Structure 1
Amino acid sequence: MSDRLSQKLLTEILSRLPVKSLLKCRCVSKSWYSLITNPSFIAHHLEKTAPRNSGLLIFRYSTTAELDTESDNVRYFLYSDEGFPENPVEELDCPFKGVKRFVNIVGSCNGVFCLSDNVGGINTYRAALWNPSVRKIVKIHFPKVNYTSKGPFIHSLGFGFDSTTDDYKLVRVVYLKDSTLNYNEFPPLVEIYSLRSRGWRKVDNNLKYVMREGSTSAFLNGACHWVATKEDGSWTKLFNISHLEWIRRLVAFRQNGKVLLAKVDGELVFYDPKTEEISATEILGNTRSFYLDTLVESLVLLDEANEFAEEEASEDDGTNGVSKEPSSSPDGVDKDLQKISEGKKNANSPMILNEANEIFEEVAPSSNSTIDKANEESKEEAQGESISTE
């Protein structure tokens, strides 16, 4: 194939395809599988696709007012930006479920969402990185905190991408819960987790601000940001919003300037600051469960193994609801890989190759003859190769 379609040209063509198409293209041959799952290609694909807004939103809410272990009532949906809050594109399955079947979403970056299981005062010291586009999830265990002799502690988390080291990192800031203690004697603890090294390290700090327990962070311009107060508890009122005493929490800002708010009765509404008009979404749920963010479709974590298995399910005596066999790829790709690995004698192999050919014709119509020749060679290659499904 390299004689007729250079590796560089092939990489450029594939890097412009959407994630779902690339997941199917892994079935073409061993060489394509190796290319698409290569970390360098994953980063190159992100560079090509990240500037283009996919127009997708991920939305989470609970179908009941209470969060408990009795029912799996927390749901994740994918929406088009224009279609929200009506007509969801699809429902997503998040394999990481907390002790109350509900987890905190720390933040997102490049299509990867950081989840933490510390809700309602229960901390299992577990977190995870999840990319719903490729259905991959990586577990993280927090190190124990040595504040136990001084009383309970609180921690705030931040998640982002370090472009200097090409690494995804999770930041944890730990405080003693007793605000009367001297922070000079018991300073906050700051730790950073690295996905690349799969380990934690402590960071020297001189923090003078206290973050709210369970507060979410925002990753912007290469840094994590939190809402915090000074150690003495002082604050300054910058502006006042009238007639909104029924607000429980702010959920998200929309590009059209409207604000998504959760009311104390669990209703989700839009508020227009310019006109002060309120419009209903007809969505009801637990106010803590509401979450809305842009979904960047990416291949990040595709080269990682899904790490949740029976050991996670047993940690909480089966109450955490962790899926024991999470799917590693959507749209039945694993089934196609299995069929190809069994000798490539089934009818699906040419079907997948033809689909890849159609995709290429859309991406590079001026190179049809070259791609047709490449596909002919791909078919010959498909007769004698075997792809591992593990």
Structure 2
Amino acid sequence: MSDHLPDEVVLEILHRLPVKSLIRFRCVSNSWNSLITSSVFIKSHLTRSLSLPSNSNKLIVRHYIDNSSVDYYKLIDDNNDSFDQIQNIEFPLTTRRIQHFMLIGSANGLFSLHEKERYILWNPSIRKFTTLPKPCITVKAHCIWRCRQAFGFDPRTNDYKVVRIAFPSRTNVFEQAKPPLIEVYSLNEGCWRITSASFPPGIAFTNWRHPATSLNGAVHFAAAYEYEPGGPCGPLVLSFDLRDEVFHVIPLPNGISRWINSVHTSVIGGSLSLLFCCGRHADDTCFAIWVMKEYGVFDSWTKQSTVDLNGGEINWVLGLQKNGNILVEANVEGPSLCSELSSYDPKSKQVKNLGICGTPFYFHVDNYIENLGLLDKPNETVSERRVIRKRKCSLESKRMGHQPM
């Protein structure tokens, strides 16, 4: 094709191809391989993919089943109300130290996960992952007792970053709390770096389980002013700008219930969103979804929908569907502790199970975007890690005078 078409036409054709085809076409020639794996092409392909309406049609669901030590990922078509076509995506890793990988967050189809101080970036589109270097701030060296983390994308620098906010432990109950340490991993730079960012005093995180949200070059945490003798001052959103490395406080919308049991951030329709669990008693508890129509403009907060818990049938709200229904995590009847991804119709207040089960409060749903990210990074696969381990065992056996089996 390149013998009969100008280079700019060939480039335009390649930009329009899906990721699966581009991976195959790297074998056409060395020049095509260099082009497709270049950071410039990866960036321009992603920019075009984000502009396509069809990219909002696929959802990726992450769930975990107790005692399996395996993360499960599935693709579902948001245009299909029946969800009868579910595609499994094989997760290439098994945790060695804890029950399962902890999800830090996702951005543009890339996932960031960790077990203890081992950090992974994974791109299911190209079936590739990379292990990050060990962080600068460690539990042993810095006496860290807890760490809040986030993963985001900065379009201004075309860089994916992992953020760690590490809280040092106190030697005794009378010691004043030390300010947290903040470090950032930059995929472009390939290393961790402790920043000089100052964490706002008097603010604490309220939801450690759900991932922070990446939007507009910043990551967004659910937080609140710390408790005082008169009680809590109320929740808020704490954002961290990935380029300037500065924290900002985003006030919550007016008119929300003062009885907030839990809140977490999300992105719905490209807008910063808040999912509240409100109510004083179990019988009047509900979820409220608020959306910031114009990013950074406080007055643009709009109440999108309300979800009844149906007498405890619904555990958590996960996001909105294109047809107006709401993706929720619903309880499953039976002796085992299990939840199921479900669709809630706000008009009829009916819950429809979608056939994906998992451990309660560990579901994660995000838009699925095909991305070539990590294609220009060194390849790391499970098979390679096993080969290296076998070689080490073989050499060790020879050194000790034993023959490998």
TM over 0.5: same fold? yes
- The Cα shift of 1:89 comes to 4.5
Aligned mates of 1:257, 1:299 — CA distance in 2: 31
Distance 1:158 1:306, change over 3 A: same
Aligned mates of 2:223, 2:386 — CA distance in 1: 35
Aligned residue number for residue 214 of structure 2: 219
Aligned mates of 2:107, 2:49 — CA distance in 1: 14
Aligned residue number for residue 271 of structure 1: 344
**In structure 2, the residue corresponding to 1:226 is in which secondary structure?**
strand
Distance 1:151 1:26, change over 3 A: closer
**In structure 2, the residue corresponding to 1:86 is in which secondary structure?**
coil
TM normalised by structure 2 equals 0.66
User: What letter corresponds to residue 290 of structure 1 in structure 2?
Assistant: F
| 1:72-118 alpha-carbon deviations (Å, 9 max, x no partner) | 5542222222336633343111113323452222222222111222x
Matched, 1:93 2:90: yes
Greater displacement, 295-304 / 100-109 = 100-109
User: What letter corresponds to residue 170 of structure 1 in structure 2?
Assistant: V
Q: Which has the higher helix share?
A: 1
- The Cα shift of 1:226 comes to 0.9
Aligned mates of 2:350, 2:129 — CA distance in 1: 40
| 1:342-384 alpha-carbon deviations (Å, 9 max, x no partner) | xxxxxxxxxxxxxxxxxxxxxxxxxxxxxxxxxxxxxxxxxxx
Distance 1:130 1:278, change over 3 A: same
Matched, 1:137 2:137: no
Matched, 1:198 2:185: no
Aligned residue number for residue 158 of structure 1: 150
Contact 2:137/2:183 (<8 A) preserved:
no
Matched, 1:260 2:262: no
| 1:12-60 alpha-carbon deviations (Å, 9 max, x no partner) | 1111111112122222222211211111111111122221133222112
Aligned residue number for residue 113 of structure 2: 115
Aligned mates of 1:261, 1:313 — CA distance in 2: 39
Aligned residue number for residue 60 of structure 1: 62
Distance 1:276 1:304, change over 3 A: same
Aligned residue number for residue 5 of structure 2: 5
- The Cα shift of 1:130 comes to 0.9
5 Å matches for 1:338-377?
Answer: none
| 1:133-187 alpha-carbon deviations (Å, 9 max, x no partner) | 1111111244264665996611111111122322111111122467996896401
Aligned mates of 1:218, 1:180 — CA distance in 2: 34
Contact 1:137/1:307 (<8 A) preserved:
yes
- The Cα shift of 1:129 comes to 1.0
- The Cα shift of 1:194 comes to 0.6
Greater displacement, 174-183 / 260-269 = 174-183
User: What letter corresponds to residue 267 of structure 1 in structure 2?
Assistant: S
Distance 1:300 1:190, change over 3 A: same
Unmatched runs of 5 consecutive residues or more in structure 1: 118-122, 319-390
- The Cα shift of 1:225 comes to 0.4
Aligned residue number for residue 210 of structure 1: 204
Q: Which has the higher strand share?
A: 2
5 Å matches for 1:76-91?
Answer: 76-83=73-80, 86-91=83-88
Distance 1:74 1:26, change over 3 A: same
Aligned residue number for residue 28 of structure 2: 28
Contact 1:136/1:304 (<8 A) preserved:
no
| 1:175-226 alpha-carbon deviations (Å, 9 max, x no partner) | 2467996896401111110111111112221323222334410111221001
Contact 1:15/1:48 (<8 A) preserved:
yes
Aligned mates of 2:169, 2:329 — CA distance in 1: 27
Distance 1:89 1:25, change over 3 A: farther
Contact 1:160/1:223 (<8 A) preserved:
yes
TM normalised by structure 1 equals 0.68
User: What letter corresponds to residue 221 of structure 1 in structure 2?
Assistant: N
Give the superposed CA RMSD. Answer: 3.3
Distance 1:185 1:33, change over 3 A: same
| 1:289-316 alpha-carbon deviations (Å, 9 max, x no partner) | 32221110111111122335589679xx
User: What letter corresponds to residue 259 of structure 2 in structure 1?
Assistant: K
Distance 1:101 1:9, change over 3 A: farther
Aligned mates of 2:317, 2:133 — CA distance in 1: 29
Distance 1:182 1:279, change over 3 A: farther
**In structure 2, the residue corresponding to 1:287 is in which secondary structure?**
coil
Q: How much identity, in percent, do the aligned residues show? A: 32
User: What letter corresponds to residue 229 of structure 1 in structure 2?
Assistant: A
Contact 2:129/2:380 (<8 A) preserved:
yes
Contact 1:219/1:225 (<8 A) preserved:
yes
Aligned mates of 2:139, 2:98 — CA distance in 1: 25
Contact 2:144/2:169 (<8 A) preserved:
yes
Number of aligned positions between the proteins: 306
User: What letter corresponds to residue 16 of structure 2 in structure 1?
Assistant: R
User: What letter corresponds to residue 173 of structure 1 in structure 2?
Assistant: I
Distance 1:161 1:153, change over 3 A: same
Aligned mates of 1:177, 1:255 — CA distance in 2: 45
Contact 2:143/2:169 (<8 A) preserved:
yes
Unmatched runs of 5 consecutive residues or more in structure 2: 235-257, 261-277, 280-284, 287-307, 333-337, 391-405
Greater displacement, 147-156 / 53-62 = 147-156
Contact 1:136/1:305 (<8 A) preserved:
no
**In structure 1, the residue corresponding to 2:10 is in which secondary structure?**
helix
Q: Out of 368, 371, 375, which is 1:298 matched to? A: 371
